[in-house]
Structure 1
Amino acid sequence: MDKTAGEYHFTRLDTVVFGAGKVESLGRELSRRGAKRALIVTGKTLGHSKLLDQVKDAAGAALAGVFTGAAQHVPSQTVTELVAEARRVGADAMVSFGGGSPIDTVKNAAWQLIGGRAGSRTIDFAGGTAEGVGGGEILHIAIPTTLSAGEFTPAGGVTDESTKVKGGVADPRLQAKVVILDPALTLETPAWLWASTGMRALDHAVEGSYSTRHQLVTDTLATKAIALLSAHLLPSLQTHGDDELEHRVQCQLAAWLSIFGMSNTRGGISHALGHQIGPMWNVPHGITSCITLPHVMRFMAGVAADRFAPIADGFDVRFDARSPHSSAIECADRTARFIGKFEVPSRLRDVGVPREEIARIAGTVLEEVKRANTVGADVTLEQLVGILDAAY
């Protein structure tokens, strides 16, 4: 019998507040950490929403300003602008409000504000679990309005506008200290964005499960995340009133569970593809998961079908450990059918990616796949191009 052994590294997140109306706790969370100059960071859409007023009111006397320049895929220029604004207002805290874009913009700005160098061309999330990292920190409180779940990691992506290649930063000090999950603040999130970021959360859970670094804790979280998304994502878009809020907070909890172990498991091929498809052809990351995940799952079924047990459990698919391949394929098919229930693109052609260009990202994707080292087998450029062809 094999010996069980391993390690699980926690992030520096210390509080998650969840439930309708919980945005009101923002002022308390700032006060108890001594923050007196909080800068709210969001994008243009929420910057013109009445929901922003709720966040500003909740910040109370600690509010120092609002930055509305966060943009999709985190162009490096927006990070530069946020760093300048944070210095101008003397910010001792930043409150990200929105999806993954403002959240990652804050992480990258915080990285520079504590002395880190800008402009990484690679995404290596190993830095998120580095031990013995000290020095200054910028208090980050995240109030997400999508299900992409970047608020739960100490890593953030950033795009080089000149090359459209996405890199990123990862450091334990970049982890949001507080996450406030208030479903009432998600009601203006477009249905396509809510659904597609729900698939991003599903992508986290799936790729954490079949990662070579998976373990009991991450498997358990992934199974529950998949089950919650299966039960609540569609109703969260079909109900109203208190029922809608309850379905939405369950989806938010699923997003939390989906990624909470990812600093340990790291991402797989679907994540690496999404990191480059997104900025190269201006495709939202949630949509990239809708397109790539079933095809990557079919590939992984041929590599590591035995690691699909937590996924099967989440989808309520019978899993035969003695002959796991058919169960793994059924999980991939179940994922494709689940995505098909929502009005989201599921092919590269649907989002305007030119077929003759799809191979151009394969080299960068392969570099990230090799660094992550989660597949458990060598992956070739030809195989990655094959997955992209299947997704076309």
Structure 2
Amino acid sequence: MDKTAGEYHFTRLETVVFGAGKVESLGRELSRRGSNRALIVTGKTLGRSKLLDKVKSAAGSALAGVFTGAEQHVPSHTVNELVAEARRVGADSMVSFGGGSPIDTVKNAAWQLMGGRAGSRTIDFSAGAAESGRGGDILHIAIPTTLSAGEFTPGGGVTNESTKVKGGVADPRLQAKVVILDPALTIETPAWLWASTGMRALDHAVEGSYSTRHQLVTDTLATKAIELLNAHLLPSLQMHGDDELEHRMRCQLAAWLSIFGMSNTRGGISHALGHQIGPMWNVPHGVTSCITLPHVMRFMAEVAADRFGPIAQGFDLRFDPRSPRSSAVECADRIAKFIGKFEVPTRLRDVGVPREEISRIAGTVLEEVKRANTVGVEVTLEQLVGILDAAY
């Protein structure tokens, strides 16, 4: 037998509170950490929602203000605006409310407030395990309303508005200390957004499983995440009342499990593609996973079929480690079929990407793939363009 050895690095996440109505715990979590100047950070849509009133009420006397300028793909100007607002109100903590955009906006703003330089061109989330040594933490409490799961990582993306290239920041101190999963706050999330970010969670689980850095802990949680999403994502959009909330709660837990080990396993080709497709052509990251994941899985089935065992188990598919390729291909086909059950785009042409432009991002994607080093073989520019052509 092969010898088992490895390392697992935990993030600085301290508490996950989950359940319908648990937003009420926000004030308690702020108080126990000594915060009395909390700035809520969200986008324009939730900024007009009555759901925001629940979050403001839960913050209680600690509420110092509300910032509603978070935008999709985190353009750099929104980070600068949040930094200025946090300083203006004297914020000692920030509460992100919404999807990945407000969550990553907070992380990037916190990075600047801690003395970090803005505008990183690259996404290298390996830095999430290495502290930079600058100033102290900025308390971040995350209340997500989608399944993208960025609240569980110490890294966040930001887009250079002039180049439309997405870079990011990563540092252990950027991890949210508290995550509150309240399915009652997700009921206004559009069906396409809920479904597509569910596919983003699926993407986390899949790419963690076939990463060269996978291990028993991450495999086990990825399998359970896939199982939960397969069982609960569609019903969460079909049911009503308490049943709907319970299915949504199970999906939120699946999102947590899907990304639990990503700071250890890191992302793969599908994530790298999504990081650049999104800002270049204004495609939501959940949607990019709907488009790229099956094609990347077919590529990975040719180079790392032996790592598909946890994925097959999550979908209750037979996996023969002596002849894994057919099972790996079946996993890719099963995920494509699963995505097809939802009203989400599945091709680049469906989201308005010009055919003649798809190779523009290949170079930047290749840089990220090489830095992550999760595939296990050398990936070429031509192969990436081939995956993009297949996704078109």
Map 1:283-362 onto structure 2 (within 5 A): 283-362=283-362
Secondary structure at the aligned position of 2:168 is classed as strand
- Aligned match of 2:386: 386
Alpha-carbon RMSD across the aligned residues, in angstroms, is 0.7
Q: CA deviation at 1:133?
A: 4.8
Indicate yes or no: 2:371 matched with 1:371: yes
In structure 2, do the counterparts of structure 1 residues 43 and 214 end up closer, same or farther at CA, with 3 Å as the change threshold?
same
Measured in 2, the distance between the counterparts of 1:109 and 1:34 equals 20
- Aligned match of 2:28: 28
- Aligned match of 1:186: 186
Code of the residue aligned with 1:128 in structure 2: it is G
Measured in 2, the distance between the counterparts of 1:155 and 1:314 equals 27
Secondary structure at the aligned position of 1:72 is classed as coil
Measured in 2, the distance between the counterparts of 1:341 and 1:9 equals 36
Measured in 2, the distance between the counterparts of 1:44 and 1:131 equals 33
Q: How many residues align?
A: 392
Indicate yes or no: 2:171 matched with 1:163: no
- Aligned match of 2:108: 108
- Aligned match of 2:176: 176
Instruction: Report Cα offsets for 1:206-234 as digits up to 9, x if no partner.
Output: 00000000000000010000000000000
- Aligned match of 1:198: 198
Q: CA deviation at 1:85?
A: 0.1
Measured in 2, the distance between the counterparts of 1:3 and 1:333 equals 33
Q: CA deviation at 1:131?
A: 5.6
Measured in 2, the distance between the counterparts of 1:102 and 1:233 equals 23
Indicate yes or no: 2:222 matched with 1:208: no
Code of the residue aligned with 1:188 in structure 2: it is E
Measured in 2, the distance between the counterparts of 1:127 and 1:388 equals 28
Q: 8 Å contact 2:115–2:135 — kept in the other structure?
A: no
Instruction: Report Cα offsets for 1:175-195 as digits up to 9, x if no partner.
Output: 000000000000000000000
- Aligned match of 1:78: 78
Q: 8 Å contact 2:132–2:171 — kept in the other structure?
A: no
Code of the residue aligned with 2:283 in structure 1: it is V
Map 1:118-267 onto structure 2 (within 5 A): 118-130=118-130, 133=133, 135-267=135-267
Instruction: Report Cα offsets for 1:257-313 as digits up to 9, x if no partner.
Output: 000100000000000000000000000000000000000000000000000000000
Secondary structure at the aligned position of 1:233 is classed as helix
Q: CA deviation at 1:130?
A: 1.2
Measured in 1, the distance between the counterparts of 2:120 and 2:300 equals 29
Q: 8 Å contact 1:133–1:172 — kept in the other structure?
A: no
Measured in 2, the distance between the counterparts of 1:61 and 1:9 equals 36
- Aligned match of 1:67: 67
- Aligned match of 1:37: 37
Q: 8 Å contact 1:209–1:307 — kept in the other structure?
A: yes
Measured in 2, the distance between the counterparts of 1:345 and 1:293 equals 12
Q: 8 Å contact 2:225–2:258 — kept in the other structure?
A: yes
- Aligned match of 1:17: 17
Measured in 1, the distance between the counterparts of 2:110 and 2:137 equals 8
Code of the residue aligned with 2:87 in structure 1: it is R
Q: CA deviation at 1:89?
A: 0.2
Q: CA deviation at 1:134?
A: 6.6
- Aligned match of 1:4: 4
Secondary structure at the aligned position of 2:304 is classed as helix
Task: Tell me the TM-score normalised to structure 1 length.
Answer: 0.99
Q: 8 Å contact 2:290–2:339 — kept in the other structure?
A: yes
Task: Tell me the TM-score normalised to structure 2 length.
Answer: 0.99
Q: CA deviation at 1:2?
A: 1.1
Measured in 1, the distance between the counterparts of 2:101 and 2:281 equals 16
Indicate yes or no: 2:50 matched with 1:53: no
Measured in 1, the distance between the counterparts of 2:2 and 2:51 equals 53
Measured in 2, the distance between the counterparts of 1:162 and 1:134 equals 28
Q: CA deviation at 1:132?
A: 8.2
Code of the residue aligned with 1:183 in structure 2: it is P
Q: CA deviation at 1:381?
A: 0.4
Measured in 2, the distance between the counterparts of 1:45 and 1:214 equals 38
Code of the residue aligned with 1:307 in structure 2: it is R
Secondary structure at the aligned position of 2:96 is classed as strand
Q: CA deviation at 1:135?
A: 3.6
Code of the residue aligned with 1:19 in structure 2: it is G
Q: 8 Å contact 1:227–1:315 — kept in the other structure?
A: yes
Measured in 2, the distance between the counterparts of 1:117 and 1:221 equals 35
Q: 8 Å contact 2:67–2:85 — kept in the other structure?
A: yes
Code of the residue aligned with 1:177 in structure 2: it is K
Q: CA deviation at 1:117?
A: 0.3
Q: 8 Å contact 2:116–2:134 — kept in the other structure?
A: no
In structure 2, do the counterparts of structure 1 residues 282 and 132 end up closer, same or farther at CA, with 3 Å as the change threshold?
closer
Deviates more, 1:168-177 or 1:134-143: 134-143
Runs of 4+ in 1 over 3 A off after TM superposition: 131-135
Measured in 1, the distance between the counterparts of 2:106 and 2:349 equals 32
Q: 8 Å contact 2:15–2:177 — kept in the other structure?
A: yes
Measured in 1, the distance between the counterparts of 2:133 and 2:191 equals 40
Code of the residue aligned with 2:328 in structure 1: it is A
Measured in 1, the distance between the counterparts of 2:250 and 2:290 equals 20
Instruction: Report % sequence identity.
Output: 90
Measured in 1, the distance between the counterparts of 2:86 and 2:329 equals 49
Instruction: Report Cα offsets for 1:40-61 as digits up to 9, x if no partner.
Output: 0000000000000000000000
Code of the residue aligned with 1:283 in structure 2: it is V
Q: 8 Å contact 2:157–2:166 — kept in the other structure?
A: yes
Structure 2: which 5+ runs fail to align? Answer: none
Code of the residue aligned with 1:138 in structure 2: it is I
Structure 1: which 5+ runs fail to align? Answer: none
